Amino acid sequence: MSGLVLAQFLGLSAALLGIGLFGILTRRNFILLLIAIEVAINAAVLNFVYFAGFASGPGGVSGQAAAVVVVGLAATEVAVGLAIVLALNRQRGSINVAEASTLRQ
């Protein structure tokens, strides 16, 4: 027999979201923060794709469309984040969020 189990997918996406949040809250290196954010957003993309696959009617295709759009949005965000990193890097030669900070906590 063949087939996939819906519950396992939600388990995977919950785990990925958890890893992403863990990274955002504990890592201080900006590149690692970008990666953690990407992991969290990928959890959302995964949700859209499998909910579209398991949908009962043909309306589920809009879930795949949403996944396409979110992938594009996440790529845009990475580009903007890197632009900020590069500008800051030129300023002071470190991209560590906590260390580089002259803002008060």
Query: For residues 47-86, which are near another protein according to CB under 8 A?
Result: 47-86
Total residues at the site for another protein (CB under 8 A)?
104
CB of 100 to another protein, least distance (A): 6
- What is the C-alpha R_g of the chain? 18
What's the one-letter identity of residue 69? V
CB of 68 to another protein, least distance (A): 6
Residue 20 CA to its chain's centroid (Å): 7
Residue 33 CA to its chain's centroid (Å): 10
CB of 38 to another protein, least distance (A): 7
Query: For residues 8-47, which are near another protein according to CB under 8 A?
Result: 8-47
Query: Which pair of structure tokens corresponds to residue 96?
Result: 């560590």
Q: What angle do CA 6, 14, 78 make, to 5 degrees?
A: 115
CB of 13 to another protein, least distance (A): 8
